[in-house]
Amino acid sequence: MTAPSPSVVVFGSLHYDIIVHGPARPRKGETVTGDSWHPKCGGKGGNQAVSAAKTGIRSVMVGAVANDDFGRVLHENLGRNNVDHRFVRTVTGVGSGMSVAIFDSEGDYGAVIVSGSNLELGQRDVDAASEAFVEGAVLVLQNEVPDQANVAAARAMKSVGGRVFLNAAPARPLSRDLEGLVDVLIVNGIEAEQLAHVPTVETLKDAENAARLLAARFPTAVVTAGGEGVACATMLGDAFSIGAIQVELVSTHGAGDEFTGVFAAELARGRDIRSALDAANQAAAIFVSTPF
């Protein structure tokens, strides 16, 4: 029997993003006059599926949208970017997920998400996409859908010999069921602070320390530290870090998703973890220095 081709299965969120640019992000009670705005297809799941597909690997999206204009645009975007979106279900009674992200003049941002249809994901979606859960595949999860939905997807992938990646963003406590199914944890500084119970993760040394602490609970832990770089540690005791590639920053929005999608794709192809992290680091550097 021929082995299945490498694939990345992303189970997670789809959001229609509204991007606002201004001189600064507003403080409580403050109104700021913006410079411009534009729409963008996002959601951590959608972004990661597109990022994986751009590497040329088979990328499959399992998600949920509503029967509205946002949902139709999200479907079209996945297809246009060569993502298999047959398993994106259309639900009723709620709107599609969306977000508003406000960027300041330095390229940093704050965002508000409305989960909508993403909260409808569950066991029925895992069952409907069963043909995508195959030996050797990599499943990518995030924290923008219900924990029990992630558990169902992780169990399905583990049962066929696939690997489970969790990009634990946004930060929230993880259930014991989900934690026990994760092969590779990917977090940024804020998420690492919460999960590793450390006061701060700002430097590469901080990230290295957090990765080692998290590797006591996860087979592989990857901690990104923004412009500092990325650290990795494994339960077997291996640990290393990679410095960031210095570029002129345009925007950080979606950089973590670009990193995660490329990292998952390269590991699914069989590359070793350091090589996969190098590729993801390079992709993220290009991403943050490229205008929308």
Question: Rounded mean pLDDT of 21-28?
Answer: 92
Share of the chain above pLDDT 70, in %: 98
Q: What is the pLDDT of residue 264?
A: 98
What pLDDT was estimated at residue 213? 98
| Residue 2 scores a pLDDT above 80 | no
Task: Kindly indicate the confidence band of residue 253, based on its pLDDT and cuts at 50, 70 and 90.
Answer: confident
- Position with higher pLDDT, 2 vs 56: 56
Among 19, 11, 68, 9, CA closest to 42: 19
Average pLDDT over residues 245-264: 88
Q: Which residue has the higher pLDDT, 160 or 4?
A: 160
**What tokens does 120 get?**
């409808």
pLDDT of 1 higher than 50: no
Average pLDDT, the chain: 94
Element (DSSP H or E) covering residue 111: strand 109-114
Give residue 292's pLDDT band: very low, low, confident or very high (50, 70, 90).
low
Q: What residues have CB less than 8 Å from 152, skipping those under 6 apart?
A: 122, 123, 126
Homologous superfamily (CATH) for 7-12+43-90+121-182+245-288: Ribokinase (3.40.1190.20)
- The answer to whether the beta carbons of residues 271 and 128 sit under 8 Å apart is no
**pLDDT band, very low/low/confident/very high, at 224 (cuts 50, 70, 90):** very high
Q: What is the pLDDT of residue 67?
A: 96
Predicted confidence (pLDDT) per residue in 128-142, tens digit: 999 999 999 999 999
Please enumerate in sequence order all residues whose Cβ is within 8 A of that of 183, keeping only pairs 6 or more positions apart, or say none: 163, 164, 165, 218, 219, 220
Provide the whole-model pTM: 0.93
User: What is the full DSSP assignment across 135-173?
Assistant: TT-EEEEESSS-HHHHHHHHHHHHHTT-EEEEE--S--P
pLDDT in tens, 110-126: 888 899 999 999 999 99
Q: Locate tokens 């029967």: which residue?
A: 67
SS3 120: helix
Task: Tell me how far apart the alpha carbons of residues 129 and 190 are, in angstroms, rounded to a whole number.
Answer: 32
Who contacts 280 (Cβ-Cβ below 8 Å, separation ≥6)?
Answer: 230, 258, 259, 260, 262, 263, 266
3-state class of 30 per DSSP? coil
Rounded Cα–Cα distance for residues 184 and 140 (Å)? 9
Count the Cβ atoms, other than its own, within 10 Å of residue 6. 17
Q: Residue range 176-203: average pLDDT?
A: 96
Q: For the segment 27-45, what is each residue's pLDDT rounded down to a tens digit? A: 899 999 999 999 999 999 9
